[in-house]
Structure 1
Amino acid sequence: MKFYNGKILLPLTFFIAFFIGLVSFQKNMLGSVDNDFFAGLDRFSQILVTGRIIAHDAHVDDQGWNLGSVTINGVLEYSDNNLNTFNELVKKNEVSSVIYFPYQSHYGIQGAFFLWLHDTFNIDDVDGLQFVNSIFFSLVIAALSVLFIRVYDWKFALVFFFVMVTSPWVVSFARNMYWVPFLWFLPAVLSSMLYLAKRPLIKGLLLVGVFFSVFIKSLAGYEYLSTITIFACSVFIVGPFFRTESVNYAYNVRMAALVFATCVVGFLCALVIHAEMRGDSVASGLMNILEQDVKKRTYGDPAAFDPILRESLTASVVDVIRKYWFDWKTPLFFGIPAYLLSFATIFFLVGFCYSFFRKKGFDLKPMVLIVFFLLCPMSWYVLAKGHSFVHTQLNYVLWYFGFMQALVYGVIVYLLIIGADAYRFLRGLGVKGMVIAALLPCLLVLVGMFLSARELDKEQDRIFESSVDSFDVGADFTVILSKSKELIFFKKDCAAADLNNTFFVHAYPEKSESHTGMNSGFLNLDFKMPSSSKGKKWLSKYYGSCTAVVELPPYSLGKLDVGQYTLPDVVIIWKESLSLAGKYYSGSVTPFNLTDGNWLDGIFRFNAAFFVENNFVNRQSLKVGDNLLLGGSGKREILRIDYSAEYISVFLDGEPLNPALDGYPNKVLIYKY
């Protein structure tokens, strides 16, 4: 610990941590997460921030609310790209109307903050605004990691930082303008400083800082407040177990209670401000928030809410926790597969028991660390059960409020203890023991290779299961069109294949006139086969194969040209043309499950329109001029289709649709199939 007490090493550590965090959080330069996941995580929520900016620039009344969505020329774009769209239309003088729909679930201070940045520093693009967010988040995580060196020890601080910058969830959330995640960890920074402070005046100022940090976080949204509060209090409960000197545990418990109370007061002050905006009085506003927001996210009466929420309100807490423990769709961190979560937990418990028998007593430090940090995610999964059941695309991030780091720390501690004892034991057996010592790691490596190969097999199996169409093309490749948005090149035996030459994919839109900026009427998606595309895991059934995934454009395609050519002389090695014109991959679509100020069960409230998820099946099955049959509104013709990265908006002839009979979960039949 003394090594880090110098005037140079701590600032240097902070600067290095800040820089690494910034390049990871803003650009994913560590490769911590799949690029599609990184680019796409909850872009929908950011339209509430960009919508406020657009309304301001268009001189539209914000009705006193800091967040909201907008329609531009009658179109609601479900992506933060709406700001870029608006700016382009302004340059062309093609903005005819902007309508603002306020988001009233909280005060929305982040909307005011990013609007101020936009006005003050003339930041007109999403990347620039997100960069500011990444700077703040990197500062907070770097500060927290450095503080943890003193609160806990350098080993836990290093584990904490490493997990944060390599977690696919943390890295993907870091830039988000709606979530402003630096506010999640700011209270913990201030409470850690409070834990280390000596002077009463400094302690008082830091406690005030804790209040304002939670107050501001609550103005930006109430999500995860129980997790944030427990995490902020954790230093006073867990920190003393890392001290070698005498500790006043009663004092630390009192301080933890004081920090907890301060966080609650900060939340209540923000709630009162929000309540004044939601009702004629604070009391009526509080009742409105309770009935409309709190109950539907926790334990409200299922009969009192939209049917789409009933499953979340009737589900048990056990169902929710099971989802977040077993249903991971990403690695844990640093590419470590999610199935190891259960193995790591079992190993931790075995290590704890082994340590007990070895030392003839409990080693409380790792257990207190992991149990208390387990309370952080569990508090939200339990208290906000309804919210957690619905938002599985978001709430996995809660595992990184200490629990994931504590688990890794505990596994490393017990692995070193058990490993050292095993080595000493085997060494005492002489030659036989040394042979076992040499073979045991080999066996463990073999088991690890087997498990890793099984994960590769599952991943490849999912690719084939998602296939909606496939074509055998040149060089013994198979081209697979997946249900989502991807074109997959697959070759079973790549041992003798020449993968160094460039592959080309030319995507021709079905309506080329609606998609400009393409060479010769197509989008060029040429690529080099990555070295990681080969199946290199010996025990995998796909060993020796190679796979490459190409993200297709978000609109309907009429044709794909695929092949391979040499450089620099550009000689075509092989080429195939895949016709998609007139192909329908489904006879129906289902409106998206969303209700807000603009949409009711996926049906547009103001015009004859609905929207669906943008996947390959939906976009190839919906075509302008086709007829649809809706349960309540009957036969309608498709007049226009708008594509965004995540959604497809379908505009029909006639009067507005009937949400009850046409909207989710009802199916819309496609006549021309």
Structure 2
Amino acid sequence: MKQKFRSLPAAVQVAVTAVVVVVLAVVLTVWRHNGSTYLTGFWDNGSQTLVFGRMLQMQQNQTSPGGFMGVYTQDWSDEQNRYWYRDNTPVSPQDFQAYTHQTGLQGWAFGVLNKVLSVFEDRGEAREIILYNINSMLFYAATLLVCLAVWRAWGPLSALAWLCAVVFAPWPQRGMKDLYWCLWTWLLPALAGLLLCAVTRRRGKTPWWCYLLVFAACMVRCMCGFEFISTFLILCEAPLVYCWAGEDRRAWLRRMICTGFAAVGGVAAALGAWFIQGVIYFGSAAGSWQNLTGAVTSRVSLTDDMVSDVSVAQVLTRYFVKVDEPLLQFGPLTITLKPLIAVTLLGFALCLAVLALRKKPLAVLAGPALVWVLSLAAPVSWMVLSKAHAYVHVHLVPMLWHFALVPVSCALLVWLVKTAITAVKE
């Protein structure tokens, strides 16, 4: 089947893949009830009110305050915006305040989509569920594309393990509906890195547009929120590190450097868009600069008095030891962080021993091991870089284990078992 599929024209392969991904994304969304927050619960509903307020404004042809920044009522995290949206309540700019610590791209995008939906559906709650469905389908579609790359590298069973690690993870099942965080955008930098590697391997060189996609992916991600950015930048490079471990290292090192510049360029472009919005909102470059630097420095723990006496060790202890919530849940069976890390390390050790005993090359473990280390370093990087945000927002940070430590560990365990069995048989 693989040979027949590859014999098809490239355009047909892309079309068939897209159809399969879309169909599976719809099936997964319906199966896991991600279309409704009332069935599966929600994640960080306070931030989501910014998007509901912006959509309601756009529906009533208002642009102030804040241009397309998110807006909230006089009380931060008050769910009033959501109730007004459901009831199509007439509002005025005086009802809102602008949230100036973001660009608000997601509020603008969903606002446009909501206006289209309002032509066919007048009920706000029905439109809300439609938007949740769309957001969930996009997340599943992005996940399935990652699984396709895992399939090509480590086989179909590893790809299935990755998918199960997402489908049976409580945190993403709640969070993928959130219209503010838009979890599918968290995967865009990694997808851009994966595409760059696939195209480079196929053509023997890296086209310029691959770097442009890395730039655009990081820019879009940041325009939907700058939080956790170090995590996504590391995951963008992870596929290139995997290729570097097994192929022409000098060439892949150059590609890693170019990809890094493209990714940071995307972040800088998003900061530029945020700065320009601030100039329009505050009326001066000085006011915009003060707002921008204040938001950034507080999140990276430079100016936040709340955590001035909190050390990085305390933050890491909180998430490695004290916060021990389920990362995977299969009915009554739950798996937390420490057992998952321990089992994965044990799997590496056993596979290494088998390969050594059977006198097989150990270099085959280098790429997967580097990817696993990066998948652990990616969430930890935010805890170190932004101890203020991480120490306070315990309801947000554990989500980072799913980008991509949990699915990488599950997929690698399957690959390690398969590699060890193959070595024994041979």
Unaligned runs of at least 5 residues, structure 2: none
CA distance in 1, matches of 2:389, 2:62: 32
Cα distance 1:406–1:135, how it changes in 2: closer, same or farther (>3 A)?
Answer: closer
State the distance in 1 between where 2:206 and 2:346 align: 43
* Aligned partner letter, 2:28: S
Q: Judge conservation of contact 2:100–2:278 (CA < 8 Å) in 1.
A: yes
In the alignment, structure 1 residue 285 sits paired with structure 2 residue 283? no
What secondary structure is seen at the aligned counterpart in 2 of 1:223? Answer: coil
CA distance in 2, matches of 1:283, 1:111: 26
Residue 317 of structure 2 corresponds to residue 322 of structure 1: yes
Distance 1:155 1:203, change over 3 A: farther
CA contact (8 A) 2:64 2:93 kept: no
Partner residue, 2:141: 139
Q: Is the 8 A contact 1:70 1:100 kept in 2?
A: yes
Determine the structure 2 residue equivalent to 1:399: 401
TM-superposed deviation, 1:58? 4.6
Cα gap change, 1:284/1:57 in structure 2, threshold over 3 Å: closer, same or farther? closer
1:225 paired residue among 218, 222, 229? 229
Structure 1 residue aligned with 2:335: 338
**Cα drift, residue 267 of structure 1:** 0.7
Which residue of the partner structure matches residue 23 of structure 2?
Answer: 19
1:78 maps onto 2:75 in alignment: no
Query: 1: CA distance between counterparts of 2:34 and 2:85?
Result: 27
Alpha carbons of 1:366 and 1:143: their partners in 2 closer, same or farther (altered >3 Å)?
closer
Structure 1 Cα separation of the partners of residues 7 and 385 of structure 2: 43
Change beyond 3 A, Cα 1:192–1:418: closer
**Change in 2 beyond 3 A, CA 1:337/1:10:** farther
SS of residue in 2 equivalent to 1:337: strand
- Asked if structure 1 preserves the Cα contact closer than 8 Å seen for 2:58 and 2:112, the reply is no
* Structure 2 partner of 1:238: 242
Is the alpha carbon distance of 1:202 and 1:413 closer, same or farther for their aligned partners in structure 2, counting shifts above 3 Å?
Answer: closer
2:103 maps to: 107
SS in 1 for 2:95: strand
TM-score, length of structure 2 as denominator length: 0.81
Specify whether residues 392 and 36 from structure 1 end up closer, same or farther in structure 2 by C-alpha distance, changes over 3 A only: farther
User: Which residue number in structure 2 is paired with residue 552 of structure 1?
Assistant: none
Aligned partner letter, 2:221: K
Cα offset, 1:224, TM superposition = 1.8
**Equivalent residues of 1:46, 1:80 under 8 A apart:** no
Counterparts in 2 of 1:320 and 1:17: CA distance versus 1, 3 Å: farther
Segments of structure 1 that go 5 or more residues without pairing to the other structure are 304-309, 425-673
The Cα offsets for residues 464-487 of structure 1, whole Å up to 9 and x where unpaired, read as: xxxxxxxxxxxxxxxxxxxxxxxx
- Give the superposition deviation at 1:299: 1.9
Instruction: Give the structure 2 partner of residue 492 of structure 1.
Output: none
Q: How does 1:584-595 map to 2 (within 5 A)?
A: none
Within the alignment, does 1:261 sit opposite 2:261 as a pair? yes
Aligned 1:234-633 pairs, distance under 5 A? 234-239=238-243, 241=245, 247-279=247-279, 282=285, 285-290=288-293, 292-303=294-305, 310=306, 312-326=307-321, 327-335=323-331, 336-339=333-336, 341-360=337-356, 362=362, 363-415=365-417
**1:302–1:314: 8 Å Cα contact kept in structure 2?**
no
Q: 1-side partners of 2:77 and 2:352: how far apart?
A: 60
CA RMSD, Structure 1 to Structure 2 (Å):
3.6
Alpha-carbon separation, structure 2, partners of 1:12 and 1:366: 29
Higher strand share: 1
Change (3 A) 1:284 1:58: closer
- The CA distance in 1 between the partners of 2:422 and 2:339, in whole Å, is 21
Amino acid at match of 1:203: P
Aligned to 1:190: 192
Give the distance between the partners of 2:264 and 2:252, measured in 1 at CA. Answer: 18
Q: 2:217 aligns with which of 210, 213, 236?
A: 213
**Aligned-residue identity in percent:** 21
Per-residue Cα deviation, 1:555-595 (whole angstroms, up to 9, x for no partner)? xxxxxxxxxxxxxxxxxxxxxxxxxxxxxxxxxxxxxxxxx
Alpha-carbon contact 1:70-1:101 (below 8 Å) kept: yes
Aligned amino acid, residue 145 of structure 2: A
Distance 1:30 1:220 in 2: 21
- Post-superposition offset of 1:211: 1.0
Secondary structure of 2:398's aligned partner: helix
Task: Describe the shift of the 1:376–1:11 C-alpha distance in structure 2 as closer, same or farther (beyond 3 A).
Answer: farther
Cα distance in 2 between the residues matched to 1:352 and 1:50: 46
Aligned length: 402
Change in CA separation of 1:230 and 1:285 when aligned onto 2, cut-off 3 Å: same
Distance 1:189 1:377, change over 3 A: same
Quote the offset at 1:47 in angstroms: 1.1
SS at 1:40's partner residue?
coil
* Alpha-carbon distance in 2 for matches of 1:373, 1:294: 24
Taking structure 1 as reference, are residues 369 and 388 closer, same or farther at Cα in structure 2, changes over 3 Å only? same
Question: What's the CA shift string for 1:583-629, capped at 9, x where partnerless?
Answer: xxxxxxxxxxxxxxxxxxxxxxxxxxxxxxxxxxxxxxxxxxxxxxx
- CA separation in 2, counterparts of 1:302 and 1:44? 21
Q: Structure 2: how far apart are the matches of 1:206 and 1:116? A: 28
Paired position in structure 2 for 1:436: none
More helix by share: 2
Give 2:47's match in structure 1, choosing from 45, 55, 58: 45
Q: CA deviation at 1:235?
A: 0.8
Opposite residue 269 of structure 2, the aligned amino acid is C
Looking at structure 1, the residues matched to 212 and 147 of structure 2 have their Cα atoms a distance apart, in angstroms, of 22
Tell me the secondary structure at the aligned position of residue 81 of structure 1. helix
Question: CA separation in 2, counterparts of 1:79 and 1:137?
Answer: 27
Structure 1 residues 54 and 27: CA distance shift in structure 2, 3 A: farther
Q: Relative to structure 1, is the Cα distance of residues 43 and 300 closer, same or farther in structure 2, using a 3 angstrom cutoff?
A: same
